[in-house]
Structure 1
Amino acid sequence: MAKPAAAPGITKENILLSAVSLFNTKGYDGTSVRDIAKKASVNAANISYHFHGKQGLLESCFTRFFEAYLECLEAEADKLEFTPADECLKRAVFNILQYQSENHLLSRFVLREMSIDSQIVREIISSYLMKERYLFKRFFERGEEQNRFTSMPVSMFIIQLKSMLSIPFLNSQYLREVWHVFPQEQFFVDRYYASLEQWIDQCLLTRQAAIPQPLHTIMRSLP
């Protein structure tokens, strides 16, 4: 009896995951459509059908990563009107870490490709990363309005924050081989986030915002 054909959605997802795995080990240029088809156990024509070739797969990798990444920021930016900006920013940072950990191969590949000057990278910068800039600025503007953030060069802080969010996944082999740390594990996410939270508090919070609320004030604010 012939083996049932996989559902189109499953086939497409399998192709994408197989491509990400190969792109990480062999590099984008070193991976052929035939390699991807073999790993995904599909005909090469399936790749043309779903992605219009290897370039389409590359674009799908970028789209998947950055749309989920921006969702982490957007979800918290939408809460800025009724939630302290530092709380929103911290949750966004945690959610980004969590997403990158759960998708560490995709994260590593995309972050690595972003260091190459190419047409697709320029397109990503003009769309996704300009939106990222806008969302980060919303956190900082609201934080200053709430008198919770100190006045500081926003660009410098964001550059540092983005570096700390990406380095563990970009250099995952270094973490594994030298420090025996695994970015795809929840233990790493929790411990690493704790250090980032402390850094955010030290760099951003005003003296007033850093003072813990008295217990009676906290109790009055509870429903």
Structure 2
Amino acid sequence: MAQQTCNDTKQRILQAAIFLFNSKGFTGTSVREIANKANVNIAHISYYFKGKGGLLEYLVSTYYEGYIKVIEENYSELHQSNAHTVLSNIILDILNYQHENRQLSRLVYREVTLDSILIREVMTTYLTKEKYFIKSLFEQGIKEGYYRKGFVPHLIIQLRSLLHMPYLQPQYMSEVLHIQPHEAYFVHQYYKELKYWLHSLLADKKLENKQLIMFP
């Protein structure tokens, strides 16, 4: 019972922090506001997370632990599949992961654009791992003949931009484009568009002769 109470308290704090950091910004949110929103004693935040900075670090690290796990689990299938299939599965699973954690995705991607000690640590751990896996898949896909030759860092930039855009600029998506990333249909529709992007930008012309169906 005590463990359950502890977990409930931590979850309330985390959800309150995500909401307030998104609506007021990290610097504009006080520890007291988080405690009030979560309906907990302010001392709980220091006890569980060592303050507001520790709370943000926990949120970012936890998010990227799950994000990298999605990539690693699919990458492990490369020995019995091909780079194209593995990359397509990674893209779909990342879209689903982001959608399931959309408020946290929005917060994390915005924070990654800022220069801080925390974000530099994220860059040297999680994002370096992400680069390794995606770079390897692009290079393997070129080697296998699935993709045309290209400057891989630029391809990574484009892919990451397409994946993260809906959560970096949610107001633009909803108020200008009238697209609702929080709706269940969004992942399916957006995934179809990413298929067309990958095919038109990356597919080697000789694949058309093989009649390869991109992203089955």
Normalized against structure 2, the TM-score is what?
0.92
1:148 deviates by: 1.4
1:26 to 20, 24, 27: 24
Within a 5 Å distance, the mapping from 1:40-119 to structure 2 comes to 40-119=38-117
1:213 deviates by: 5.5
> Which amino acid letter does the alignment assign opposite residue 72 of structure 1?
V
Name the counterpart of 1:220.
Answer: none
1:62 deviates by: 0.8
Aligned length: 211
| C-alpha contact 1:80 1:142 (8 A) present in aligned 2 | no
1:143 to 130, 137, 141: 141
1:5 deviates by: 9.7
| C-alpha contact 1:101 1:184 (8 A) present in aligned 2 | yes
| C-alpha contact 2:139 2:152 (8 A) present in aligned 1 | no
1:142 deviates by: 2.1
- Structure 1 gap ranges (5+): 215-223
Q: What percent of counterpart residues are identical?
A: 41
Q: Please provide the CA RMSD for this pair.
A: 1.8
Could you tell me how far apart the structure 2 residues matched to 1:98 and 1:142 are? Answer: 24
> Which amino acid letter does the alignment assign opposite residue 165 of structure 1?
L
CA offsets, 1:122-172, max 9 Å, x none?
A: 111111111111111221232133221221111000001111111111111
> Which amino acid letter does the alignment assign opposite residue 172 of structure 1?
P
CA offsets, 1:174-198, max 9 Å, x none?
A: 1111222111222111111100011
2:15 to 14, 17, 26: 17
| C-alpha contact 2:106 2:168 (8 A) present in aligned 1 | yes
Change (3 A) 1:213 1:92: closer
Normalized against structure 1, the TM-score is what?
0.89
Larger radius of gyration: 1
Name the counterpart of 1:125.
Answer: 123
1:86 deviates by: 1.2
1:205 deviates by: 2.1
Name the counterpart of 1:212.
Answer: 211
1:212 deviates by: 2.5
1:200 to 190, 198, 201: 198
Could you tell me how far apart the structure 2 residues matched to 1:6 and 1:37 are? Answer: 19
- Structure 2 gap ranges (5+): none
